[in-house]
Structure 1
Amino acid sequence: MKDRVEVAIIGGGISGVALAYELSKRGVEVAVFEKNFLGSGSTGRCGGGIRQQFSTEENIRLAMESVKIFERMKEELGWDIEYYQGGYLILAHTEEEVKQFEKNVRLQRSLGLDVQWLERDEINDIVPELDVEGIGAIAATYCPTDGHAYPPKAVWAYADKARELGAHIYEFTEVKGIIVENGRASGVITERGETRSRFVVNAAGAWSPIVAEMAGVKLPNKPYRHEIMITEPLSHFLDPMVISFHDNVYFRQTMRGGIIGGWGDPEEKPGFNFASSLKFITTMARLLRKYIPALKPVRVLRQWAGLYDVTPDAKPILGPVKEVEGFLQMNGYSGHGFMVAPMCAVLLAQYITGEPLSIPLEPFSVERFEKEVRGEVSVVG
C-alpha cells in the first residue's frame, strides 16, 4: 500500500472512483480506500436513474452537466455502461403539484433543459400502458434526455480507467482514522497502515458523518433505508422512468427486461437498516398493478435495500470545511448520487488542482446549514 499520495479518497462508490479518474487524468496521484468491494454501498443498490428535472438550480445544473459526461462515457472510458436516454415521465396528481411543476419547468427551460409539459390526455403518448385515470394523474412533465444506466458497470468503468492512469484502489481496506496535524487533514489510518496525503476526501456516502467525526467535523447528513425490487424479464415496452412524488414511487424497465423500482416509506426512520420488509413489497406490488394493470401477473424476482445519504435540503455537500483544512466533502446526495456524481467529481478535481470551477461550490458548502436553506422538493422520500 502506498505510504504517500496527493489525495486520499474514502469510499469506493461512484463518487470516489469518478474523482479518482478525474484527478488521475490531471496527473494527480490518488488512492481510494473502500472498506468492502467497489460499489458495495448505495451505488450498487440504486435504481440507476439519471434525471435532470429538479426544482433547484443547483441540482439541475449538476445533473445537466453530468448527462453530458454520461453521453460520452462509453467513448471516454471504453465501457458500455448500458446508458440509455429513455426519458423521465414525472406525474402530477394534485393542483398543488401542477403549480410546482409549472414553476420547475420554467426554471429548467431557463437553464436550457429540453422538458415537455403534458396535459392529462397526452400522458399515454409517452407510456400507452399507464392507467392515467386509475392513478389520478392530471398532468406530467417529460424530459427525453433523462435516462438510466447500470451502476456497477459505471463504477467498474471509472475504476479501470483510473487504475490505468495510475490510481491506487484498495478494496476491503477500512479507514479507521484521519490524520489531522496543525488543523489540516494530512492522511488516513487504515487497518493496513497509514497513507499520508495533501487532501482527504470524504466520499463515504451514508457513512460520511461517521468519517467526518474522525476529523472532528459534524455533518447534518442522515442515512435512510430505501427499498427496491425487480421483476422477471419482460419484452421491452417501457422506455422512460416513471416517477410520482405524490405516491413516492418510481420504476423503469432494465435492458434485460425486468421492471426495477422503489417506494419511499414516509414513516422510515434514520438508521443503518438494510432489511427487506413485507410492507415494501406489498405496497410496491399494489402500486405497480395500479399504474400498469398489465403487470398484475408478473413475478417479483428479488427485493433489497440501500441507504439514502440525506441532507436537510436534499442537495449534496461538496468542498472544504472550515474546521479542518484539506478535508473535502463529497456526500449528502439524498438519493441522487449516481446521477450527479460525474459532474461533482469534475468540480472537486478542479478545486484540488486549482482550475477555474465550472460551477461554484459555495451553494454546496456545509456552511449553508448555518442559515435557512431552500430545499429540493422533487424527491422520492
Structure 2
Amino acid sequence: MQGVSNVQKTANAVIIGGGMIGCSLAYELALRGMKDIVVVEKEYLCSGATGRCGAGVRQQWGTETNAILARDSVKRFEQMNEELEYDMDIEFKQGGYLIVAYTEGEWTQFHKNVAVQKSLDIPVEMVTPEGAREIVPHLNIDGLFGATFCQTDGHANPFHVVDAYAKAARRLGVVFETYTEVTGIVAENGKVKTVETTRGNIDAPLVINAANYAAGKVCKMVDFDLPLYPQRHQALVTEPVEPTQGPMVISFSRRLYCQQTPHGSFIMGVGDPHEPKDFNINSSWDFLEDVSRQVLSVLPLLKNLRVVRQWSGLYDMSPDANPILDEVPDVQGMWVLAGFSGHGFMVGPQTSVLVAQKIMGEKCFMPIEKFGLDRFRRGELLLEPSVV
C-alpha cells in the first residue's frame, strides 16, 4: 500500500481509474510526448471492472465501430509483449470464438453481422451445425441454425495486460497513485481546474474520467449526469481439466459465454436481463443455477465439472452498448471514457489510441465524434446487437 505522503500538487493530466482504459491511455499519451501524467486509482491497479472481467477478445460485432476497435485491438494484443517490452507474458491465446445461433432471428442477425465484419477484412466464417460441431465436438447442435467462427479471436490475462501497460507507462514518466480516492473535482469559468483526493489536491488542465461503472459518480462532481448505469454480471471458474475446448462459445439467446483457459479451467457466465441498475457485486445461488442450465443446454459434456469459485463485476452500461468518448459539456478539459458495456478490455488498446490522437491534436484513425455524448440527444444511437 502507498504511504501517507501527499500526491504531487500539479500535473498536465490526471487520469481517474487504474484499469485497462486508464493505464493504456496513460501509455498512449506519454508515448506521444505528453509529460507529467498522474493516474489515480482508489485501490490497486486492475482492482475494478478489468480485474473481474472474462477477458475475452472478439472481433465479431454487429456495429462497424465496435468491429473496427476490436479488429485493431487484436493486432495490438498479438504484439503486446514486444511493443510494451513486457517482462512476463500477457497470455494472449487465439483459440477463436464460436458464436452459435439457436433461433432464426439470431441467424438472420448473424448474416448482417458477418457482412459488416467481412467488409472490414475480419477473418470470420459462417458454419453449418455440423461444421460447428467439428470446431467444438461436444457442442449440442439440436435446434442449432448455424454459427460464426473467427480463429483470431481469443483471450488474455487482464492482470498481466494492465501490468504491462503500467510498466511501459512508468518508463515514460507516468506516475501512478494507488489507494488514492477522488473525492471531488473543481471547475472554474467552464474549465476543469483541480482533482481533490484523499491524499491531497492535484491541479491539472486535463482530467480524464476512466472510472468505468463509477464514471457517473465522477461526472456528478461537476454537475453532469452521464447517461450510464452499473449492471452486475456474474462469472465462475471451474477446476482445471485436460484441454477439451479451443474456442470461446457464445450464445446470445441463452445469454451465455464459456471458454477454457490455457490452465485448463473453464470460465463462464450468463447475463441476467432482470439485473437491477445498482452497484451490487455480491454473488448469488440463482446465478449458479442459471448458468448451469444454460451451459448444459449448449455444452452438455461439462456437467460433472466442479466449481472452484464465483465472483461478480459491473458493466458500465450506455444506452446503446457503445462507449462514450467525449469532453464533458461546459467543462473544458474534462473527458469521459466510459459506457463500454462490458467490453472495455477487448477494445481498450485501440480505443486509447483514438482518444490519445484526439487529445494530442493528431489525425484520428476513425471519427471519434461517433462516440460523442450528443448522439443521445440527437437520437442517433449506435445500437450494438451482439452483447452478452
What are the Cα deviations for residues 46-70 of structure 1, in whole angstroms up to 9, with x where unaligned? 1010011111111111111111111
Contact 2:322–2:382 (CA under 8 A) maintained in structure 1: no
SS at match of 2:293: helix
**Cα deviation, residue 322, structure 1:** 2.3
Task: Indicate yes or no: 2:237 matched with 1:260.
Answer: no
Specify the alignment match of 1:123 in structure 2.
132
Task: Indicate yes or no: 2:386 matched with 1:378.
Answer: yes
In structure 2, how many angstroms separate the alpha carbons of the residues matched to 1:156 and 1:282? 34
Task: Indicate yes or no: 2:160 matched with 1:188.
Answer: no
Task: Indicate yes or no: 2:237 matched with 1:223.
Answer: no
What are the Cα deviations for residues 243-273 of structure 1, in whole angstroms up to 9, with x where unaligned? 0100000010111110001101111110001
Task: Indicate yes or no: 2:257 matched with 1:250.
Answer: yes
In structure 2, how many angstroms separate the alpha carbons of the residues matched to 1:203 and 1:142? 32
SS at match of 1:132: coil
**Cα deviation, residue 186, structure 1:** 2.3
* Number of residue pairs the alignment of both structures matches: 378
**Cα deviation, residue 129, structure 1:** 1.4
Specify the alignment match of 1:21 in structure 2.
27
Task: Indicate yes or no: 2:110 matched with 1:104.
Answer: no
**2:337 alignment partner, one of 308, 326, 330:** 330
What are the Cα deviations for residues 211-248 of structure 1, in whole angstroms up to 9, with x where unaligned? 01111221111000000000000111211110010000
Moved more, 308-317 or 89-98: 89-98
Contact 1:66–1:341 (CA under 8 A) maintained in structure 2: yes
Contact 1:8–1:187 (CA under 8 A) maintained in structure 2: no
Specify the alignment match of 1:90 in structure 2.
99
Q: Can you give the 5+ residue segments of structure 1 that lack an aligned partner in the other structure?
A: none
**2:62 alignment partner, one of 27, 32, 55:** 55
Q: Which residues in structure 2 correspond to 1:65-84 (within 5 Å)?
A: 65-77=72-84, 78=86, 79-84=88-93
In structure 2, how many angstroms separate the alpha carbons of the residues matched to 1:176 and 1:114? 46
Q: Which residues in structure 2 correspond to 1:1-381 (within 5 Å)?
A: 1-28=7-34, 29-77=36-84, 78=86, 79-133=88-142, 136-372=143-379, 373-380=381-388
TM-score for both structures, normalised by structure 2: 0.95
Letter aligned with residue 386 of structure 2: S
Contact 1:187–1:199 (CA under 8 A) maintained in structure 2: no
Contact 1:315–1:332 (CA under 8 A) maintained in structure 2: yes
Q: Can you give the 5+ residue segments of structure 2 that lack an aligned partner in the other structure?
A: 1-6
Letter aligned with residue 12 of structure 2: E
TM-score for both structures, normalised by structure 1: 0.97
**RMSD of the alignment, in Å?**
1.0
In structure 1, how many angstroms separate the alpha carbons of the residues matched to 2:57 and 2:330? 34
In structure 2, how many angstroms separate the alpha carbons of the residues matched to 1:374 and 1:75? 34
Contact 1:15–1:345 (CA under 8 A) maintained in structure 2: yes
**Cα deviation, residue 290, structure 1:** 2.6
